[in-house]
Amino acid sequence: MKILLVDDDMVDRMATQRLLKKSNLDIQITIAVTGHQAINEMESTEFDLVLLDYNMPDLSGLEVLQHVNIKGIGKTAIIFLSGSEDETLAQRCLELGAQDFLLKKEISQVHLLKAITHSKLRHQNEVRLDQDRLKIRDLAEYDQLTGLLNRYAFESRITQSNAFRNRLNMGLSLMILDLDNFKWINDTYGHDQGDKVLIAVAKLLAKVCREEDFLCRLGGDEFAIAINCDDKDYSYVVAERIFSVLKKPLQFDDFSVTIECSIGIADFTLKMDELNDVLKKADLAMYRAKSDGRNRFHYFNNTLQEISERRMSVASELRQAIEEDELVVFYQPQICAKSMKLIGAEALVRWQHPVRGLLGPHEFLDIAEETGLIVEIDQIVMIKACQQRLTWKNEFIKNDDFKIAINISARHLKSDKFLDNTKKVLEEIKIDPSFIDLEIVESELVQDFTKAVNVISQLKSMGVNMSIDDFGTGYSSLSYLKHLKVQTLKVDRSFLTDVPNSDVDCRLLKGLINLGKSMELTVVIEGVEDIHQLNKCQDYQADIIQGFHFSKPLSVQEFEAYYQQYQPS
């Protein structure tokens, strides 16, 4: 046991030393004869116990204790030794963290030993409590992966610093940052590596922030920074710095990645602005940055607020529309390019809005995607289209090859419910699965390729065919086509815009058709608007044509009329 004995009085010191030596304790005694010497010793050595004289010429024992507390070196049990009896003083010493207060004249060997043992135990308990307290605070305030503040601590630090900022008339900007490609990193390299990336990003962000800024991990791959600034433009500077530090690929032992992120920024404009409102604004701006093409920042403005409010009201109306059965399905005819027979239709959702009239998908599907309502909408369209197909089979479409194509959103395809939902619809409506085709947009398919491959092969085993919609817009590697067991490619209508006028576009269209056919897929061309485009598609041997040249999407009654008067020509 290492003991520091601090006493300026040689006689007292020797008496205490004698008592200590007589005990059977295994001790090493260091002597200090002034308060300053005691502090120096405690700074350089970790003692198990300090026996501290109260009366010393340079510093009183109490002052030594205060120094030790301020400097954070108070990790040692301290017992005061005093020549005079003073209850108030003893109380004060104990309050400041001393373990005991002994009167020199009363000290006996037994007495001292007892005090040492008790003090040590009490001190150990205090240290343990202190460590637990720190651990709890750490758990409550810090993100355990990155060591950054968590959301709770972030919010409370901002609130605590409000008064200070207001006094200095200082502004505050909030920045929300979301990694664009983190899901891909996790899927490609696994979660452990994903964690390493988050830790590395947190370190880089910490470098960009100043000491007075607060940086936190909101959760997942989302971070927030509160930037204290006089100058409104300073947050732009921080955003630019972040892009510049993230530009360099992050190198790890076995992989390297380049991080891209989207940033939204919003300011506290009024003193009474609520933190949560500003966070929401920054969040809106961040989503705007994402929808503008990612890897950029966006500053919150009121237009965004209006858009967001409109979106919220559309979302709640849409929820009601689902309950009130205001969603209807339109059908756009599909024609066999070779025989010119009407061989199918694509089911396209419309919203029969009680006030605004008939609304197309562009008015509400993105909101449905964001809110998750798309899953219900897809399900409703699937049920309605399947029922319609059966009704037509019994009434006037005798051709069993007539198929209805139904659009499925990526969110629905990815949801765990999708396969069960589809199975349920097929069983309840008792429809032959070969009567329908499910379409999924290419760009969305490639986002979660492994899952898509799996779901598509299970659908195939249920007898349901899949198409890749808007093919050519997904910027994806063609090799994935081999792995997806789809039957149909729908070439995006943008490839038709300059056909037949542009030679390059004609060659591109021909190339896309050949690609699909070389993989033994049925090739559908959508967006055919005139006879010239139709002729080109036929020349290039597309299989199925869809477009305004034949008809726009039609209501059930309109479609029936169209079907009845349709003549292959």
Say which entry of Mg ion, ligand C2E, none residue 467 contacts (CB below 5 to 8 A, set by partner kind): none
Stretch that binds ligand C2E, among 89-97, 203-211, 317-325, 356-364 (CB under 6 A): 356-364
Label residues 371-408 b or e (16+ Cβ within 10 Å = b): bebbbbbbbbbbbbbbebbeebbeeebeeeebbbbbbb
Residue listed under structure tokens 């198990």: 48
Question: Of the ranges 143-151, 352-360, 408-416, 435-443, which one interacts with Mg ion (CB under 5 A)?
Answer: 435-443
Cβ proximity to ligand C2E: between 374 and 459 the closer is 374
Q: In terms of CB distance, is 68 or 348 closer to ligand C2E?
A: 348
Among 35, 264, 516, 547, binds ligand C2E (CB under 6 A): 547
Q: Does 469 bind Mg ion (CB under 5 A)?
A: yes
DSSP bridge pairs for 491 = 471, 525
Among 8, 529, 539, 558, binds ligand C2E (CB under 6 A): 529
DSSP β-bridge partners for residue 188: none
444 lies in the site for ligand C2E, by CB under 6 A: no
Minimum CB–partner distance for residue 539 and ligand C2E (Å): 18
Query: Residue type for 387, please?
Result: Q
Select from 235, 409, 422, 467 the one that contacts ligand C2E (CB under 6 A).
409
Stretch that binds ligand C2E, among 158-166, 311-319, 357-365, 415-423 (CB under 6 A): 357-365
Residue 194 binding: pick among Mg ion, ligand C2E, none (C-beta 5-8 Å cut-off by kind): none
Which of 16, 407, 421, 488 contacts ligand C2E by CB under 6 A?
A: 407
Number of other CB atoms surrounding residue 301 within 10 Å:
13
Q: Which residues lie closer than 8 Å to 16 by C-beta, 6 or more apart?
A: 5, 7, 51, 81, 107, 112
What's the min distance (Å) between Cβ of 374 and ligand C2E? Answer: 6
Q: What stretches of 180-296 adopt beta strand conformation (E)?
A: 214-219, 222-229, 250-251, 256-257, 261-267
| Nearest residue to 316 (alpha-carbon basis) of 382, 364, 383, 277 | 364
> Residue from 171, 361, 433, 500 that binds ligand C2E (CB under 6 A)?
361
Helical pair 109-141 and 151-160, crossing angle rounded to 10 deg: 100
Nearer to Mg ion, 7 or 439 (CB): 439
Binds 553, which of ligand C2E, Mg ion, none (CB < 5 to 8 A, cut-off by type)? ligand C2E
Q: How far is the CB of 520 from Mg ion (least distance, A)?
A: 21
Which of 407, 488, 533, 546 touches Mg ion (CB under 5 A)? 407
Q: Which of 422, 470, 471, 536 binds Mg ion (CB under 5 A)?
A: 470
Q: Is 489 in the site for ligand C2E (CB under 6 A)?
A: no
To ligand C2E, the closest distance from the beta carbon of 567 in angstroms equals: 20
Taking CB under 6 A as the rule, does residue 397 contact ligand C2E? Answer: no
Query: Rounded to 5 degrees, what are φ and ψ at 90?
Result: -60, -45
278 binds ligand C2E (CB under 6 A): no
The whole-angstrom separation of Cα 276 and Cα 356 is 33
Residue 527: contacted member of ligand C2E, Mg ion, none (CB under 5 to 8 Å, by partner type): ligand C2E
Inter-residue contact 524 to 343 (CB < 8 Å): no
Binder of residue 220, out of Mg ion, ligand C2E, none (CB less than 5 to 8 A by kind): none
Active-site residue (options: 7, 53, 143, 221):
221
Q: Which residues contact 484 (CB under 8 A, 6 or more apart)?
A: 445, 452, 453, 456, 466, 468
Distance of CA 437 to the CA centre of its chain: 34
Q: Is 514 helix (H, G, I), strand (E, B) or coil?
A: helix
The angle subtended at Cα 504 by Cα 501 and Cα 507, nearest 5°, is 100
Task: Identify residues 36-65 at the interface with ligand C2E (CB under 6 A).
Answer: none
Q: Is residue 221 flagged as an active site residue?
A: yes
> Is the bond preceding 500 in cis, omega lying within 30 degrees of 0?
yes
216: its two tokens: 């936190």
Instruction: List the end-to-end C-alpha distance of the chain, in Å, as a whole number.
Output: 105
By CB under 5 A, name the one of 439, 442, 444, 543 that touches Mg ion. Answer: 439
CB of 499 to ligand C2E, least distance (A): 12
Pick from Mg ion, ligand C2E, none: which does 317 bind, CB < 5 to 8 A by kind?
none
The 230-249 site mask, x for binding Mg ion (CB under 5 A), equals --------------------
Q: How many residues bind ligand C2E (CB under 6 A)?
A: 26
CB-neighbour burial class of residue 60 (10 A; exposed 0-12, middle 13-18, buried 19+): middle
Cβ atoms < 10 Å from Cβ of 53: 25
Q: What are phi and psi of 5, to 5 degrees?
A: -105, 115
* Structure-derived torsion over alpha carbons of residues 99, 105, 106, 112, reported in degrees to the nearest 10: 50
Q: Is 381 in the site for ligand C2E (CB under 6 A)?
A: yes
Q: Which stretch binds Mg ion (CB under 5 A): 150-158, 406-414, 451-459, 504-512?
A: 406-414
Go through the chain and tell me how many residues it has. Answer: 569
- Identify the residue among 242, 469, 525, 536 touching ligand C2E (CB under 6 A): 469
Contacting positions for Mg ion (CB under 5 A): 407, 439, 469-470
Contacting positions for ligand C2E (CB under 6 A): 332, 348-349, 360-362, 365, 374, 378, 381, 407-409, 439, 441, 469-470, 493, 526-529, 546-548, 553
Residues carrying an active site annotation: 221
